[in-house]
């Protein structure tokens, strides 16, 4: 009986740890979703993956963000900040809804605070200015000479 005590305690701890990790895991799309090329419906791809675009915009890291699964091929990301104005603190947010379409992920809907881009085209233009100015790494399709992309500026 005593021989089983040690393994039983270890098993309990492992199960507890797994349960804790499962309960506290951040909900986010799989990498095969965020590695898709970002685009607008009806436009050619931007040459940047969703994750590259977010990294260039500083969306990862300490920025408060919340992913929400809309359906199997669609995710919404909310990014928010509290900004200090002369009249006091206020909340600024942007929610982007992305849908998987083949090898691309399309920005289909935007909700945002006043003063921020309100439609997908304006919001995507805003998002793409960071990877374009930094010359972030494009997706494989755009590494080929002569490849073009929506607003894409080759280095």
Name the site residues for other proteins (rule: CB under 8 A).
Answer: 64, 66, 80, 82-91
Please report which helix (H) or strand (E) contains residue 146, including its range: none
What minimum distance in Å lies between the beta carbon of 127 and other proteins?
A: 22
Q: Which CB sits closer to other proteins, 87 or 145?
A: 87
What minimum distance in Å lies between the beta carbon of 138 and other proteins?
A: 32
Torsion of CA 10, 15, 18, 22, to 10 degrees: -160
What minimum distance in Å lies between the beta carbon of 79 and other proteins?
A: 11
Bridge partners of 80? 93
Alpha carbon 134 to chain centroid distance?
A: 18
What minimum distance in Å lies between the beta carbon of 80 and other proteins?
A: 6
Distance CA 78, CA 100 (A): 18
What minimum distance in Å lies between the beta carbon of 24 and other proteins?
A: 12
Q: Which CB sits closer to other proteins, 40 or 77?
A: 77
Bridge partners of 95? 78, 111
Distance CA 21, CA 115 (A): 38
Q: Which CB sits closer to other proteins, 2 or 24?
A: 24
Q: Which CB sits closer to other proteins, 25 or 155?
A: 25
Q: Which CB sits closer to other proteins, 18 or 83?
A: 83
Structure tokens at 59: 């969306």
Place of tokens 């895991």: 25
């Amino acid at each position: 009986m005593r021989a089983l005590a040690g393994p039983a305690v270890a098993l309990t701890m492992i199960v507890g740890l797994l349960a804790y990790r499962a309960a506290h895991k951040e909900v986010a799309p799989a990498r095969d979703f965020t590695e898709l090329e970002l685009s607008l419906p009806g436009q050619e791809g931007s040459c940047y993956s969703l994750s590259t675009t977010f990294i260039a915009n500083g969306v990862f890291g300490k920025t408060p963000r919340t992913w929400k699964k809309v359906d199997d091929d669609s995710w919404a990301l909310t990014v928010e900040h509290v900004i200090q104005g002369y009249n006091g603190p206020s909340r600024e947010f942007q929610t982007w809804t992305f849908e998987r379409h083949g090898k691309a992920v399309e920005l289909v809907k935007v909700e945002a605070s006043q003063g921020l881009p309100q439609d997908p085209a304006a919001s995507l233009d805003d998002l793409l200015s960071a990877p374009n100015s930094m010359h972030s790494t494009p997706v494989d399709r755009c590494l080929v000479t002569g490849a073009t992309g929506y607003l894409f500026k080759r280095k």
